[in-house]
């Protein structure tokens, strides 16, 4: 069977959090845990390529949690609310979670203590074996079936070479209102955020302070946005917190059928990256030192086709068409008479590296000006040589 998969662009915004996300999903009937394992491999590849430092991909199983809570004598109508408390274990101590389970969720102290004996466990195949021998879980069919799937998933992760990044974590309990099987979450290790500082400060595991331009006396809008993004999780004043999840997902076999009048079951598994959070972290790393300097641009556009004089709309369109045909990412102002300064300042603010400046006198000579936005150098280039010159300059910039 052909695998049906899809992804949505990074400007996709979750209705729940209003943050930009990049989604990847696989739909259809496939071999048990194969699509799930592939999703984990994709998360591994993307985070490795971004080079944000050490990370771990936590995994758990919805039906295992159901069996676990049932074994702990938690009423079924309190499963989801209890799970939402347990899911906070990566942010607050167990004592606070236990208090919330008893005082806010209405569980008995005995039930809370039983839950605590499980949800603080992490591991790999060793944990699967330990839970398989647990007499309380052995009496829960959903838990037994889930553990068999987790064993298979971990075997596949080993075959894919990612087992060292995988942590079977019983405290992971996200999205239980729609996930039906495996759930997972990718977390950067060794980073903390302290909201009492004047910006989004991150501290790395190598004791490197990673500040998103916070040492300037005045924070820019970009700094404030980064700070707001990292303040997504609640934290007490003066305390530090982990950066949190940068990707998460799971299996949701029942979700698609909710939108089908016939209730057709469509097995699905997928995940999303928190793009704004990743950019905030990448930018903080970029600002930490020249050694780790990197370029984070809000656009992939490589060239702005700008007019030096009023009009020149046809000429600008023709130049864009020339560059698009050459697979060069170009754009132009949609104003009829844009000011040259405004067009160049737009390049600076969005990180567009080059501008092709069209002027009447240059066009009369069949030439244009190619401007390097960063260095402000300009070259007069024959129109017929423009594509090759742009590719040459971009190639040089990419190798710096």
Q: How far apart are CA 174 and CA 313, in angstroms?
A: 52
Residue 174 in marked binding region: yes
Chain centroid, CA 158 distance in Å:
23
By CB atoms closer than 10 A (0-12, 13-18, 19+), residue 298 is: exposed
Is 104 labelled as part of a ligand binding site? no
Asked if 356 contacts 368 with a C-beta cutoff of 8 angstroms, the reply is yes
Decide: 253 and 181 in contact? Cβ < 8 Å.
Answer: yes
Question: Is the CB of residue 172 less than 8 Å from the CB of residue 58?
Answer: yes
What's the Cα-to-Cα distance from 223 to each of 50, 297, 315, 319, 348, rounded to whole Å? 21, 14, 38, 36, 17
Q: Is 54 left (phi over 0), alpha (psi -120 to 50) or beta?
A: beta
Separation of alpha carbons 143 and 288, rounded Å = 45
Could you tell me if 184 and 58 are in contact, meaning their C-beta atoms sit under 8 angstroms apart?
A: yes
Residues across the chain: 400
The DSSP code for 3 is P
Question: Alpha-carbon distance 230 to 236, whole Å?
Answer: 14
Rounded to 5 degrees, φ, ψ at 210 are -115, 100
Residue 290 CA to residue 267 CA, distance in Å, equals 47
Give the H or E element holding residue 347: helix 340-350
56: its two tokens: 């771990």
Q: Which DSSP state fits 129? A: H
| DSSP secondary structure string for all residues of 224-292 | HHHHHHHT-S---TT--EE--EEEEEEE-TTTGGGGSTT-----EEEEEEEHHHHHHHHHHHHHH-GGG
Residue 21 marked ligand-binding: no
Q: Is 188 helix (H, G, I), strand (E, B) or coil?
A: strand
Annotated binding-site residue numbers for L-histidine: 25, 174, 178-179
Annotated binding site: 25, 174, 178-179
């Amino acid at each position: 069977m052909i695998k049906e998969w899809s992804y949505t662009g990074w400007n996709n915004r979750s209705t729940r959090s209003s943050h930009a996300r990049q989604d990847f999903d696989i739909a259809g009937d496939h071999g048990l845990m194969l699509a799930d394992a592939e999703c984990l491999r994709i998360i591994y590849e993307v985070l490795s390529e971004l080079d944000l430092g050490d990370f771990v991909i936590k995994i758990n199983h919805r039906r295992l949690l159901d069996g676990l809570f049932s074994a702990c004598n938690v009423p079924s109508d309190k499963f989801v609310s209890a799970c939402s408390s347990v899911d906070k274990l990566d942010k607050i101590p167990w004592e606070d979670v236990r208090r919330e389970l008893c005082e806010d969720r209405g569980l008995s102290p005995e039930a809370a203590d039983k839950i605590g004996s499980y949800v603080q466990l992490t591991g790999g195949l060793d944990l699967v074996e330990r839970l398989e021998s647990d007499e309380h879980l052995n009496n829960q069919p959903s838990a037994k079936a889930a553990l068999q799937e987790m064993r298979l998933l971990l075997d596949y992760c080993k075959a894919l070479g990612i087992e060292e990044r995988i942590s079977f974590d019983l405290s992971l309990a996200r999205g239980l209102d729609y996930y039906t099987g495996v759930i997972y979450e990718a977390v950067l290790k060794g980073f903390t955020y302290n909201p009492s500082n004047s910006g989004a400060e991150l501290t790395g595991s190598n004791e490197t302070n990673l500040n998103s331009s916070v040492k300037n006396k005045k924070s820019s809008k970009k700094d404030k946005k980064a700070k707001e993004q990292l303040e997504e999780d609640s934290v007490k004043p003066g305390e530090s917190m982990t950066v949190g999840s940068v990707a998460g997902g799971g299996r949701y076999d029942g979700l698609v059928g909710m939108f089908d009048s016939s209730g057709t079951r469509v097995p699905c598994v997928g995940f999303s990256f928190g793009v704004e959070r990743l950019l905030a972290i990448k930018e903080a790393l970029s600002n930490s030192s020249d050694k780790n300097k990197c370029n984070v641009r809000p656009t992939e556009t490589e060239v702005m086709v700008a007019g030096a004089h009023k009009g020149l709309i046809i000429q600008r369109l023709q130049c864009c068409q020339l560059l698009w045909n050459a697979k060069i990412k170009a754009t132009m102002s949609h104003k009829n008479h844009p000011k040259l300064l405004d067009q160049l300042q737009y390049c600076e603010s969005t990180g567009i590296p080059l501008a092709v400046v069209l002027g009447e006198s240059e066009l009369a000579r069949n030439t244009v000006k190619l401007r390097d936005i960063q260095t402000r150098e300009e070259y007069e280039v024959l129109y017929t040589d423009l594509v090759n010159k742009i590719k040459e300059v971009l190639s040089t910039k990419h190798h710096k």
